[in-house]
Structure 1
Amino acid sequence: MSSTLIHADDTLTLWGIIVVWASVSIFLEQRYQWASKISGAIIALVGAMILSNTGVIPTESTVYDSIWGVVVPLAIPLLLFHVNIKKVWKESGKLLILFLISSIGTVAGTIISFFLLKAHIPHLEKIGAMMSASYIGGGVNFAAMSAKFETPGELVSAAVVADNLMMAVYFVLLMTIPALAFFRKRYPIPHITEVEQRGAAEKGKTLAESFWKRKDISLKDMALAVGTAFLLVIISFKVAQFFDTIIPSGEDVSIVMNIVNGFLGDKYLMLTTVTLGLLAFFPAYFEKINGSQEMGTYLIYLFFVVIGIPASIPLILENAPLLLLFVFIIVVMNMLFSFIGGKLLKSDLEEIIVASNANVGGPTTAAALAIAKGWKDLVGPILVVGTFGYIIGNYVGTILGFWFSSLL
């Protein structure tokens, strides 16, 4: 029996809480200046953390799995329907360099953490492999490394909790950085300036309200947007599944075949590729669909709520406080490499933020942050670049795991 007020199998109530809180977050962001400065994304995430940490809702449920498995994939094409293809390719090159610099920060942080804490945390060589792969790629890399190095189940669970809490905290920090004078004075901020200028043109409105102006939308628009998005998700996922099945991958296969499998067998990269391909060939069709960006953004706000739910503070204090320190050091090093490297490359602040986010939280959370901030030109590129982490994450985790094992 669940110890929370709302049980994990009470799916209707959990769906209702997620939807209502996401809606409240959007309303507050567009109604009040203080909420607009904080951002609806942070309100959604922090509110969910409070609900889960006070025992109102459980930290695990099939409802949350549905958000990751259905809502997020559906949001991606909806948000790409009005993307400028030329800007995607132009921005992707710069973002890829930043992403790789961030990845080096992850590796450096993992090595430092390992040598500082190896005497205090059992099986740290296994956890190091898992977290380095995860903080370059994502959950799929975390799972792959935990299976590869046969990490004990209780350590995997503790690492998941530490990871979720650290990701939630770092996401809030990255959302806050664009408002801090220290960073605004030291980095170019073209995307932030564009959003603020749009808001300044409409006095009396919050930045969010100015960005999300009322648009004409018909029943046909809604039908075409949702129907097309679902069709793209189904086709892309089936194609990726087909390639993942026929293209070999694993330890006994060459690096080339693993890379090919990583590109063609990854469902999110396939979804992004197929959507951008159709945008290039049928731009007129997608341009005529109104409301797709609004619908996709609303779905992403449901995702923001779900990000905060697993961040259980009591669990981390009870089971793995040192693991939280371990992942904290990795994230700090990732951040330092990202912002110092970005400064040397004269990169925009917004590009640095989404590149670091794509490392720690994966491409979906990075795209979600860009959407929440109104940096629409970075959504497509970071989805493309961030997916590259899924491919290289397992190689980095494997190398570090074997090296760490040889030192113990």
Structure 2
Amino acid sequence: MVLTIILAVGFPFLALLLEKSDRLPSFFSAVVLCYAFGIIIGNIAPHLVHESTAEQLAAAGMIIALPMLLFGANIKENWRLAGPGLAAYGLCAVAGLIGTALAAYYFQESQTDGWKVAGMLTGLYTGGTPNMQAIGIAVDAPGDYVVLLQAADIVGGGVYLLMLMTFIHPFLGRFLPSFSTNQSDQQEEDIVQETGKGFRFLPTIISLGVGIAAAGLTYLFTGDIGKNTTLLILLLTTFSLGLSFFPKISNLRGAYVQGEYFLLIFCVALGLMANFQKLLGEGLPLLAFSLVALISTILIHWLLAKIFKIDRDTVMISSTAALYGPVFIAQVTTAINNRRLLAPGIALSLLGLAVGNYLGIGVAYLAKWLLAQF
């Protein structure tokens, strides 16, 4: 049990160091490294893993991480990004909803609980990995699904990210208008810059309080937290977003960084529980599901952008914000030589993190109802 805790809590520190060292390709983010480490240890040396402890660490990691990741979402400030950026992001979210719904319908025979996968992928394609993980907990998806879908996203998402940083820009220029330098007057400050003052671990303490409040209300309303994780995640998201409207909370120093660390603990713990043989057996169908959903989302987004005449730079940044979160915004803006979209891109990704849980859970249960009608 102690060794499991040490592995889950300690490795994220090393993963963050490796990510910042530039010794590995940018594709190997801290999230990917933590998943990979957990899977390797869990399958090469399963005797080192205390499964119930890993399960508890995974649940605690997500519950503590989610509020801190959302504290800086600042919906009021991000809403000012009206115009092409917000419109392009909205079109990407719509494309994600349609793409995952099409995949759920197409694979309904082979993937009986495809509604859960559709909800998780909707969260992934509107807000990123944290949303997918939270929605997986909310819809009570098997723990392996998160790892499998993350692995599938590494394959498909990694290829698309490489395309975004290479030839997609000139390709989209064939049918989308070019970026106008007069249309981006947004603030140049980094949206995720945390300048507030206060006790170093105050974000974690507040996040614990939010988690306890959400769990307490879930128990009060239902009498069982474990079987009502959907309500728990929705309450957790709503409370966190409510707090983000207060400047003293949204500007808490270190909130996003601490939230990211607990998210990485979740990744390691989940990886430790992954059964490699089961991954090989079930991974291919979910890979196919994920690729169909991803390709559909991308193509529909481009089509909608063409219809609404969104410029290619804004389309690429909104797609990066929705599919990958704030981590890769800077890389793509550098690749297309348009730093003006850095701050709006980060803001849009945080906005996606805020709404992704609602969209994903909504799509999951809507897909479940619709599939039952056919």
TM-score by length of 2: 0.67
Query: Does structure 1 conserve the Cα–Cα contact (< 8 Å) formed by 2:322 and 2:352?
Result: no
CA RMSD of aligned residues (A): 4.1
Compute the displacement of 1:18 (Å). 1.8
Q: Give the alignment partner of residue 167 of structure 1, picking from 150, 167, 170.
A: 150
Compute the displacement of 1:44 (Å). 2.0
Provide the C-alpha distance between the structure 1 equivalents of 2:64 and 2:265, rounded to a whole number of angstroms. Answer: 12
Q: Which residue of 1 aligns with 2:362?
A: 391
Structure 2 unaligned residues grouped into runs of 5+: 124-134, 173-177, 180-187, 331-344
Query: Does structure 2 conserve the Cα–Cα contact (< 8 Å) formed by 1:125 and 1:401?
Result: no
Query: Does structure 1 conserve the Cα–Cα contact (< 8 Å) formed by 2:27 and 2:158?
Result: no
Provide the C-alpha distance between the structure 2 equivalents of 1:71 and 1:373, rounded to a whole number of angstroms. Answer: 25
Query: Does structure 2 conserve the Cα–Cα contact (< 8 Å) formed by 1:72 and 1:303?
Result: yes
Q: Which residue of 2 aligns with 1:139?
A: 136
Kindly, what percent of the aligned residue pairs are identical? 17
Provide the C-alpha distance between the structure 1 equivalents of 2:78 and 2:147, rounded to a whole number of angstroms. Answer: 30
- The aligned amino acid for 1:389 is G
Provide the C-alpha distance between the structure 2 equivalents of 1:286 and 1:107, rounded to a whole number of angstroms. Answer: 34
Where do 4+ consecutive residues of structure 1 move more than 6 Å?
A: 215-218, 372-375
Provide the C-alpha distance between the structure 1 equivalents of 2:231 and 2:162, rounded to a whole number of angstroms. Answer: 35
1:126 aligns with 2:112: yes
| Structure 1 residues 212 and 106: alpha-carbon distance in aligned structure 2, compared to 1, 3 A threshold | closer
Q: Give the alignment partner of residue 328 of structure 1, picking from 268, 284, 287.
A: 287
- The aligned amino acid for 1:283 is P
Q: Which residue of 2 aligns with 1:34?
A: 24
Compute the displacement of 1:217 (Å). 9.8
Structure 1 unaligned residues grouped into runs of 5+: 1-10, 119-123, 145-156, 190-196, 199-210, 246-260, 357-365, 404-408
Compute the displacement of 1:335 (Å). 0.6
TM-score by length of 1: 0.63
Q: Give the alignment partner of residue 296 of structure 2, picking from 325, 328, 337.
A: 337
Compute the displacement of 1:299 (Å). 1.5
Q: Which stretch shows the higher mean deviation, 233-242 or 62-71?
A: 233-242
Deviations 1:125-170 (A, max 9, x none): 73445544554574357548xxxxxxxxxxxx7xx64663243231
Query: Does structure 1 conserve the Cα–Cα contact (< 8 Å) formed by 2:38 and 2:269?
Result: yes
Provide the C-alpha distance between the structure 2 equivalents of 1:74 and 1:183, rounded to a whole number of angstroms. Answer: 37
Query: Does structure 1 conserve the Cα–Cα contact (< 8 Å) formed by 2:67 and 2:210?
Result: yes
Query: Does structure 1 conserve the Cα–Cα contact (< 8 Å) formed by 2:103 and 2:289?
Result: yes
| Structure 1 residues 285 and 186: alpha-carbon distance in aligned structure 2, compared to 1, 3 A threshold | same
Provide the C-alpha distance between the structure 1 equivalents of 2:56 and 2:293, rounded to a whole number of angstroms. Answer: 30
Provide the C-alpha distance between the structure 1 equivalents of 2:120 and 2:72, rounded to a whole number of angstroms. Answer: 31
- Give the alignment of 1:59-208 within 5 angstroms: 61-89=51-79, 95=89, 97-114=91-108, 124=110, 126-128=112-114, 131-132=117-118, 135-136=121-122, 138-139=135-136, 143=140, 161=144, 164-171=147-154, 173-174=156-157, 177-180=160-163, 181-183=166-168, 185-186=170-171
Provide the C-alpha distance between the structure 1 equivalents of 2:278 and 2:201, rounded to a whole number of angstroms. Answer: 43
1:381 aligns with 2:352: yes
Q: Which residue of 2 aligns with 1:308?
A: 271
| Structure 1 residues 183 and 221: alpha-carbon distance in aligned structure 2, compared to 1, 3 A threshold | farther
Provide the C-alpha distance between the structure 2 equivalents of 1:136 and 1:106, rounded to a whole number of angstroms. Answer: 6
Deviations 1:68-97 (A, max 9, x none): 322222122223334433344457776454
Query: Does structure 1 conserve the Cα–Cα contact (< 8 Å) formed by 2:54 and 2:273?
Result: no
Compute the displacement of 1:175 (Å). 5.2
| Structure 1 residues 399 and 212: alpha-carbon distance in aligned structure 2, compared to 1, 3 A threshold | closer
| Aligned length in residues | 317
Provide the C-alpha distance between the structure 2 equivalents of 1:298 and 1:270, rounded to a whole number of angstroms. Answer: 22
Provide the C-alpha distance between the structure 2 equivalents of 1:68 and 1:107, rounded to a whole number of angstroms. Answer: 28
Deviations 1:259-311 (A, max 9, x none): xx99xx7333332332332332x314653x32222222221222232343444
- The aligned amino acid for 1:51 is I
Compute the displacement of 1:223 (Å). 4.2
Tell me the SS of whatever aligns to 1:38: coil
Tell me the SS of whatever aligns to 1:126: coil
Tell me the SS of whatever aligns to 2:253: coil
Determine which structure has more spread, i.e. the larger CA radius of gyration.
1
Provide the C-alpha distance between the structure 2 equivalents of 1:82 and 1:134, rounded to a whole number of angstroms. Answer: 23
